[in-house]
Amino acid sequence: MKFERRDIVLIIGIFLIVLGITQYIPFHYSALIGVGFYFAIKLYVEKRRKSIENSVGDGICMECGSKIIQTKCPNCDYSKE
């Protein structure tokens, strides 16, 4: 989990959520909830990115949209032969 530029938007959004819930619960509890949100979102995004990388593989064929396996499209390259 490395820090990226778009994490600033995430931090600002969570900070606003923390400020919004401080009127209902004490600040230290809302700060803990905010930290929990931050790490939960970062873990979810990382797992989603890994699953997309696994499903795409080497890339996607521009003609038929299939997953490219071993630098060849299973639909387009084999049908030309």
Render pLDDT for 13-70 as a digit per residue (tens, 0 to 9). Answer: 999 999 999 999 999 999 999 999 999 999 999 999 888 888 777 778 877 877 787 7
**pLDDT confidence band for 79 (50 / 70 / 90):** very low
At 80 the pLDDT is: 37
**pLDDT confidence band for 78 (50 / 70 / 90):** low
62 DSSP assignment? T
Q: Residue 40: helix, strand or coil by DSSP?
A: helix
Q: Is 76 within 8 Å of 63 (Cβ atoms)?
A: yes
Q: What are the beta bridge partners of residue 67?
A: 60
The answer to whether residue 71 scores a pLDDT higher than 90 is: no
Tokens of 55: 């499903």
The model's pTM is 0.68
